[in-house]
Structure 1
Amino acid sequence: AEYNPAEAIKTNILGAMNVIDAALYNNVKRVIALSTDKACNPINLYGATKLCSDKLFTAANVYRGFDRDTIFTIVRYGNVLGSRGSVVPFFKERSKTGVLPITDPRMTRFWITLDQGVHFVLKVLELAKGGEIFVPKIPSMKITDLAKAIAPECSHEIVGIRPGEKVHESLIGEDEGRNAIEYKECYVVRQNQFHGENVPHIDNGGRLCPEGFTYTSDNNPDTLSIEDLRRILEQISDDYSIEKARWSLEDIPQ
């Protein structure tokens, strides 16, 4: 996106507008937009376009009018293990050289599997009221611990942070945290301009997050150890399934 901004704008902003228009035209009942940690306090163009996308999908709940039943909701999570561009296959390939490149030894990242992400989205389809941002509670990891879990025999070469890259990921910023509701397995960021004082999620067992709350990969109480990472990587290689997931979402209030 940093080197081809026009395409990022076409995909994430104009593309979002096209999806919204098509959903309203066809009276689609529910639309779930997949966001990213990079949309929270963005520092690069990709994150800025995804933030615009989030705002467009949220605002669509207002301009849909009263004659349509379509609701728009956002799901936001971090890196998907094993997806295209994931650091895991990159580390595995580079381990053959005996040296793994590390951008910054302080770096932390959220961790979610593809099965967990799909399961969460399907659950949100049932729970969505419209205009919220659903954020799953997922573990974090240190990038150096992941490197040690994948290739403990390799040395590390510090190569520096790339343009537009963060040291730590953020899924809920401080401004959003004021409107966040906590459940056992996820957070829901409400939008006051749509929900007002009547917040249906509160009635279903959620509790407001404390003042100053943020959800970032470096302040996450659930941090994976090197042994945790090794175990999960082994499970992933054996067709990791929803049943083996570190957490499930069955007890989110209906």
Structure 2
Amino acid sequence: MNWSLNGKSVLITGGTGSLGHKLVENIFLKYPQINRLVIYSRDEQKQFQMSQIFPHTKYRAIRYFIGDIRDYNRLKTALEGIDTVIHAAAMKHVDIAEYNPMECIKTNIIGAENLIRACLETDVENVVALSTDKAAAPINLYGASKLASDKLFIAANNIKGNRDIKFSVVRYGNVMGSNGSVIPFFLKKKAEGYLPITDARMTRFNISLKDGCEMVLHALEHAWGGELFIPKIPSYSIMEMAKAIAPDIEHRIIGIRPGEKLHEEMITASDSFNTYDLGQYYTILPQIPNWDPSEYTDRFKAKPVEVGFNYNSGTNEEFLNANELRKLIIEHVDQTLVLPE
């Protein structure tokens, strides 16, 4: 029998974000018989706006639940009758996290622990948590908090006892066109006559919202519990992105921001001992799995990477040029401003 979300009850934390919107769209398209799809977030205005796009009158399974992952009791109430959780809630702006460190910790670490405890106390069966490339060898608090969150979700498989539940993590790079990302920022700044560039050498991984959603659904279907999935995706230079969006205006170097890296990593050399190539994805297996690793590698034809392997946006094998980026922006990014011809 093929895996499906039809008949399931799903809760998405932080569901009013860019990825949440795309997940809801994809889930209703692929699984029209889903039993319930709960959007759990703390911003009533964003929930109101989302309800105009996905109204209950048309999408009978959708529910909008105001709540904060910092609030364990509210979270536990929201999880009643839920069997599948996608954890997308996070405080993710690097500079804001540096200025408000405890607020970042409360959301990204304590919130993650609250969700794990609440899932273990209810009938949840499958949890996928979203990570970030900044969690690999972190140099800022956001990355460090997400690394801690990743560790909590992976270790949760060791304390589930005889409960029928599994926890896994997906980690990927910058989502093209997501709230707060460089593309909408550049599209708005070009109207001012110049683009601010932090450092001309900077590179980033790139993934579309659609591919991010597909990866989450892949983890829901295939995870055994404790894996950290990483996609094979291209990189881009910040200068190529600037050329794609505004080639004919000044590109002004302003200096790298606090807590920012020149290049992002998703797999460090230290991770390589537990990293396997699955074909479309890499996976970092838990150091203490509660299943047989040899059975896992046989089942998925997983091949170990070379010791010392690292997956870095600056040394990636595939890079997107300005023309390729332009096509992707037109295809995947909501066009509030028109790209130049």
So what's the TM-score if we normalise by structure 2?
Answer: 0.67
- Alignment counterpart, residue 221 of structure 1, candidates 317, 325, 330: 317
Unaligned 5+ residue runs, structure 1? Answer: 240-254
Equivalent residue number for residue 29 of structure 1: 125
Distance 1:194 1:96, change over 3 A: same
Aligned length: 238
1:140 to 2:228 alignment? no
| Contact 1:109/1:143 (<8 A) preserved | yes
- Alignment counterpart, residue 137 of structure 2, candidates 22, 25, 41: 41
1:162 to 2:257 alignment? yes
- Residues 49-128 of structure 1: pairs in structure 2 closer than 5 A: 49-65=145-161, 67-128=162-223
So what's the TM-score if we normalise by structure 1?
Answer: 0.90
1:131 Cα deviation after fit: 0.6
1:194-231 deviation per Cα after TM superposition (whole angstroms, max 9, x unaligned):
15763433112121101110011011111111111111
- Determine helix, strand or coil for the equivalent of 1:111: strand
| Larger RCO (alpha carbons 8 Å, 6+ apart) | 1
- Determine helix, strand or coil for the equivalent of 1:184: coil
- Determine helix, strand or coil for the equivalent of 2:252: strand
Counterpart code for 2:160: R
- Determine helix, strand or coil for the equivalent of 2:213: helix
Equivalent residue number for residue 306 of structure 2: 210
Rounded Cα–Cα distance in structure 2 between residues aligned with 1:111 and 1:188? 18
Rounded Cα–Cα distance in structure 1 between residues aligned with 2:295 and 2:167? 16
- Determine helix, strand or coil for the equivalent of 1:227: helix
| Contact 2:176/2:333 (<8 A) preserved | no
- Alignment counterpart, residue 329 of structure 2, candidates 219, 226, 233: 233
What RMSD, in angstroms, separates the aligned Cα atoms of the two structures? 1.5
| Contact 2:177/2:334 (<8 A) preserved | no
Counterpart code for 2:214: H
Equivalent residue number for residue 171 of structure 1: 266
Counterpart code for 2:252: E
| Runs of 4+ with deviation above 3 angstroms | none
Unaligned 5+ residue runs, structure 2? Answer: 1-96, 336-341
Counterpart code for 1:120: M
1:183 to 2:278 alignment? yes
- Determine helix, strand or coil for the equivalent of 1:194: coil
1:238 Cα deviation after fit: 7.5
Q: Look at both structures and tell me which one has the larger radius of gyration over its CA atoms.
A: 2
1:97 Cα deviation after fit: 2.5
Identity of aligned residues (%): 50
Counterpart code for 1:129: W
| Contact 1:77/1:171 (<8 A) preserved | yes
1:192 Cα deviation after fit: 2.5
Distance 1:161 1:199, change over 3 A: farther
Rounded Cα–Cα distance in structure 1 between residues aligned with 2:138 and 2:252? 27
1:126-154 deviation per Cα after TM superposition (whole angstroms, max 9, x unaligned):
10001110001111100100000011101
Rounded Cα–Cα distance in structure 1 between residues aligned with 2:238 and 2:230? 22
| Contact 1:98/1:153 (<8 A) preserved | no
| Contact 2:196/2:253 (<8 A) preserved | yes
